[in-house]
Homo-oligomer: A and B are copies of this chain.
Amino acid sequence: MSHAQRLRQRIEDEIVSGELALGSRLDENQLAARFGVSRTPIREALLQLAATGLVQTKPRRGAIVSAPEPHLLLAMFEAMAEMEAACGRLAARRLVPEDAEALQTALAGCKAAMTLEDPEGYYAENYVFHTVVYRASRNAFLAEQALSLHRRLAPYRRLQLRVRQRVPQSLAEHEAIVAAIVAGDEAGAAEALRSHVIVQGDRFTDLVAGLRAPNAA
Contact = CB atoms under 8 A, between A and B. Distances in A.
B75 A140 contact: yes
A4 B141 contact: no
Contact of A78 (B48, B51, B85, B139): B139
A24 interface: no
**Which of A1, A59, A79, A85 counts the most chain B CB atoms within 10 A?**
A79
A174 interface: no
**Which of A1, A48, A75 counts the most chain B CB atoms within 10 A?**
A75
A145 B44 contact: no
Contacts of A48: 47-48, 50-51
Interface in A39-76: 43-44, 47-52, 59, 71-72, 75-76
A2 interface: yes
Contacts of A89: 82
A26 to B, nearest CB: 16
Contact of A83 (B72, B82, B90): B82
Given A51-B52, A52-B51, A52-B52, A141 B44 contact: no
Contacts of A52: 51-52
Interface in A71-103: 71-72, 75-76, 78-79, 82-83, 85-86, 89-90
A139 B4 contact: no
Contacts of A49: 51
Interface in A1-55: 1-2, 4-5, 43-44, 47-52
A5 B83 CA distance: 29
A79 B47 contact: no
A128 interface: no
A142 interface: yes
